[in-house]
Amino acid sequence: MMVIAKWRRYTMLCYNLKLQYKSLRKLGTKEDDRDKKNESLENRMAILNAEIYSHTSHDDFFAFAYNADDENIDFAIGIWPDKVSVLKVKKIIINEADKTYGAEEISASPISEITTKEYGQMLEDADNRDYLKRSARKNKRDLDFDFYGNSYFKLNETVVTNEKLSKKEAVCRAREIMADVTLFDELDRIYAKGNARKFYGYPVHYCISSGNRDSGMEIIKLLVQMLYSQGRLLSSRVNLISQIKEGCYDESDLEHICKHADGAAIVIDMRGSDENHGNYAQSYKRVIRYFSELVEGYCEKTLFFFLEECENPGFAKELLIKTDDFMDRIEIHEGAGNREEALAYLDYLAKESTFYKFKDESLENYLQAERKVYKCYDVHAAFNKWTREVLKNKVYSSYKECKCIVKKEEKKKKKSAYKELQEMVGLSEVKALADQIVASYKMQSIRDGYGLKDGGISKHMVFTGNPGSAKTTVARLLTDILTEEGVLKTGALVECGRADLVGQYVGWTAREVRDKFKEASGGVLFIDEAYSLVDDRRSFGAEAINTIVQEMENHRDDVIVIFAGYPDKMADFLDQNEGLRSRIAFHIDFPDYNGEELTDILKLMAKNRGLKLDNKAIEKCKNICEKACIEKEFGNGRFVRNLLEQAVLKQSQRLYSTYKDKEIPKSSVEKLLVSDFDVNLSDACLKKKANEIGFAV
């Protein structure tokens, strides 16, 4: 378990300051005046920085000059806000610059906040120019600013603005970005008169639900500016953590980022990386736990935004569930508007960009055709398309006639889950069960319409059967069917096993089980090999079973639990808790397939892959399948899938040898011959030689 230090003080806030001076005083005959004239720029800057550093007390600030010419001096200022104010440091800098340069008049531009990355670069510039004496020198490592080169995530650090917004201005800004009512409600809370105008901590954090990251970040930037204006944030700096990969927990960089975001904001883009990770709940398990511990350790002094993309939520649901116990969140949704409002928002985005001078009447043509409602996502999509066209046609006009070829794949219409289940071979009992549950749900709705009370029917199930008998496939299809028919609210399907439910330490198991039920809220919790929770090693399996029984009752109306496993072992599992068996409404046995059914499954698999089998090949497959059925644990559907895979490999070898570098006809690629099924798989299965090539359990 990760241990996070509890910091007693705020971390450094970074600023930039520019001084302008007109001319040096007229030199007298004093020796020190002559020395000042002869001093090199580097020496004078080093002296100035040393004098500024002499005012530092117990690391309350670290400021230095990093750039200078005959009229200007640029400073970077880092302060610990609980120790000193930036205005006090500014006064020290002006006084020391006046003494060191002997200027007639010094003026200062407004102080602006900068990112830690910018501050670190300025520190390197000063060091490279020999502006820092050894006694007044610090580097990025001393300040813990060396956390930008991590390959397990991407960090974008930005400062929103230092300008303060009145409530009236905030309302106007919210309207400009077509804000949802959830944002206007939070705006009223932020500007409420009863609130303190000083930073004490965060009563709530935020979950931002949007169509894409750009529209979500617009909402976040406005929230940050409003909170900063009301003294609810010490800094308007925002750290966006995105493209999160597995392995991020092996480095300390994320901890450093959180440490340096005290009084500021961190945005967690919960889509994960662009790689295909399949089921985020499984593959990102350690990532989710690591981030939940980070958030728990730093949420008192760091404002967290959880950015959720509607079409690509990634590991959002799992992470949000993990943080429910220790923080309160407000959910802000992406807004929408009519065409006039969408065009105004599009114009606002163009005005804020570097391409506004290229804007003309054609801008509105990039918004989709006339519609009643436009989401913020639609506006950002139009804006992105416009910027691409501007770059190609106006900024770099030599690409104006360049045509890019984009291949569009035709999307096949997806079958309904019900039709897909009906087309599966066998499984008559399961098909009848789907009809029974749907009919029961619809009748319950009819009874409710007549005012008749219905206690509700428990829908928990047990699937028993040998490997490859389609238990998992049916659970997925059944979830989709019940969602399509309105039985399930969310259609969530959470697949898990012992490793996902049993914790490593005392107290973890019950929490893990409850989290899985939360993830499955409005859907199905599928527990595969449930019998593995039964053990004699005094581990936490019994605790998991007891908690499952309790949560089955707590979530009786919003979660369907499906237990799956071998028939004989599942009987022992159901005997582990007196209340477990009584809560199971349906017990479905998945029998082993016979030779004819396995052959039908193979033909269906081949058809779905665009492959054809001649009569001789089908007959041979039937003989192989009938022999396989005689043996125990032959694999059922898995056996057939592996048989087909081996046949495809054999076909590939045959075609490559036959045609070599010649073009292979499509008819040959589509056809599997009887010789392609002369594979090692059948012999390996029947003789139970696990080491034979082509055999997979």
* Residue 352, φ and ψ in degrees, nearest 5: -80, -10
Choose the weakest-confidence range: 3-12, 117-126, 367-376, 536-545.
Answer: 3-12
pLDDT at 4 over 50: no
pLDDT on residue 12: 81
pLDDT on residue 10: 61
pTM of the model: 0.67
pLDDT at 568 over 50: yes
d(CA 622, CA 633): 18
In this predicted model, which residue has the larger pLDDT, 27 or 158?
158
pLDDT on residue 279: 54
pLDDT on residue 209: 93
pLDDT on residue 458: 73
Residues 299-337 pLDDT 10s: 988 999 999 998 788 888 889 988 988 999 999 999 998
Contact 430, 474 (CB under 8 A): yes
pLDDT on residue 242: 92
pLDDT at 276 over 60: no
Residues 52-61 pLDDT 10s: 999 987 778 9
pLDDT on residue 600: 83
Structural tokens at position 505: 């330490």
pLDDT on residue 3: 40
pLDDT at 246 over 50: yes
Give the pLDDT band (50/70/90) at residue 28: very low
pLDDT on residue 184: 96
d(CA 211, CA 307): 10
Residues 645-682 pLDDT 10s: 888 888 888 888 888 778 888 888 888 888 888 766 54
CA atoms within 13 A on the CB side of 670: 8
Q: How many CB atoms lie within 10 A of CB 21?
A: 18
Question: What is the average per-residue pLDDT within 489-503?
Answer: 83
- The residue type found at 672 is L
pLDDT at 7 over 80: no
Q: Which residue has the tokens 């120019």?
A: 129
Structural tokens at position 464: 């028993």
pLDDT at 76 over 90: yes
Contact 275, 188 (CB under 8 A): no
Question: What is the average per-residue pLDDT within 349-366?
Answer: 85
Q: Which residue has the tokens 């048989």?
A: 643
Cα-based angle 668, 671, 674 (whole degrees, multiple of 5): 120
pLDDT at 614 over 90: no
pLDDT on residue 9: 52
Give the pLDDT band (50/70/90) at residue 397: confident
